[in-house]
Amino acid sequence: MSEHRDPFGARATLEYSGGSIQYYRLAALSKFGDIDRLPLTVKILLENVLRNCGTESFGEANVEALASWKPGERREGELPFLPARVLLQDYTGVPAIVDLAAMRSAMARLGGDPSKVNPLLPADLVIDHSVTVDAFGSTLAFERNVEYEYRRNKERYTVLRWAQQSFNGLRIVPPGTGICHQVNLEYLSQVVQAREIDGEMIAFPDTCVGTDSHTPMVNGLGVLAWGVGGIEAEGAMLGQPIFMLPPRVVGVRLVGELPEGGTATDLV
C-alpha cells in the first residue's frame, strides 16, 4: 500500500492524560459543505477516505464527493472503503485461510519468503457455525458438546491453530466461546481504533466487514459494519478496498416513551 498523504491539512494531535495521538479532523473539509450536519455514517465513511487519501484507489475526489454529500442527491461513481478489521466465521473463514496458505506455498516455490504473506488488516475468525448439539438437559452438556466438537473437527482445528501461530494479525476464537456476532459485539469491537500509520499512532473509528449476516449488530455501538461475501472479506484482509455507491441515508425520529415493561426489542 502506498503512503498516506494529507492534502487537506486535516491531521491534528489530540492530547490526553496518557500522552498524545493523532487523528484526522473533518472540520478541515468545511469549505466543501456543512460537515457538522452530515449523518454519522457519512462522517465515518468520510474519515475513512480522508485518512487513506493517497493510498491505492483513494483520491482527493473521493474526499470532496463525500464532504459535499447532500440528502436525496444521487451521484455517479463508486467510493472506496477500507475497514479497520475483518470478521470471519468458520464456514467462510477456513477457505480464506486455505487461500493464504496456498499463497505461501506459491511464494516458496518462486523462491520468496513465505512468511511475508500475511493479512494486511486484522482478522478474527470465530468458530461457531459448525458447532452442533449432541448433549442437552444436563449440567455436563456444555463440556460434552465441546469435547465432541474438538473430536469431530480435529483436522480443521489443527489447521486453524497452525494459521493463528503462523499468520500475523489473525486471531482464532475457539468453539464454545459464543456466537460470532455476539463475540464481535462484546469482545472484538473497540469503537475507536489506534494503529501505527506511517510511523505515527493514529486514532480512527472502528469499522468492520464480516462474513456473518448479523455483523451489523455492532452498529448499535457506533461501529459501522455490514456483512460481505467471502471473496470481499478475503480481499479486504489483503488490503484491497471495498467499493460502494455513495450511500443513501434514511433518518428515523422517535418520539414519546416506551410503556412500563416495554423494551427496545418491542419497539423495533
* Per-residue model confidence (pLDDT) at position 197: 86
Q: Where are the domains of the chain?
A: 85-190+206-241
Nearest-angstrom CA–CA distance, 50 and 3: 13
Question: Is 81:244 a contact under the CB 8 Å cutoff?
Answer: yes
Residue that has been written with the C-alpha cell 460470532 in this structure: 180
Order of strands, edge to edge, in the sheet holding 123-126?
A: 170-173, 123-126, 85-89, 207-210, 224-227
Model confidence band, residue 32 (pLDDT cutoffs 50, 70, 90): very high
What percentage of the chain carries pLDDT values higher than 90? Answer: 66
The answer on pLDDT for 100 being more than 90 is yes
Burial 60-87 (b: 16+ CB within 10 A, else e): eebbebbbbbeeeeeeeeebbbbbbbbb
Least confident of 11-25, 72-86, 116-130, 134-148: 134-148
Which residues, 6+ apart, have CB-to-CB distance to 208 below 8 Å? Answer: 83, 84, 85, 86, 87, 184, 188, 189, 215, 218, 223, 224, 225
So what's the pLDDT on residue 155? 86
Task: Give me the pLDDT at residue 118, please.
Answer: 95
Query: Around Cβ 102, how many Cβ atoms within 10 Å?
Result: 11
172-179 mean pLDDT = 86
Residue type, 268: V
**Rounded mean pLDDT of the chain?**
91
Give me the pLDDT at residue 83, please: 98
Report the CATH number of the 85-190+206-241 domain.
3.30.499.10
Q: Is the pLDDT of residue 54 over 60?
A: yes
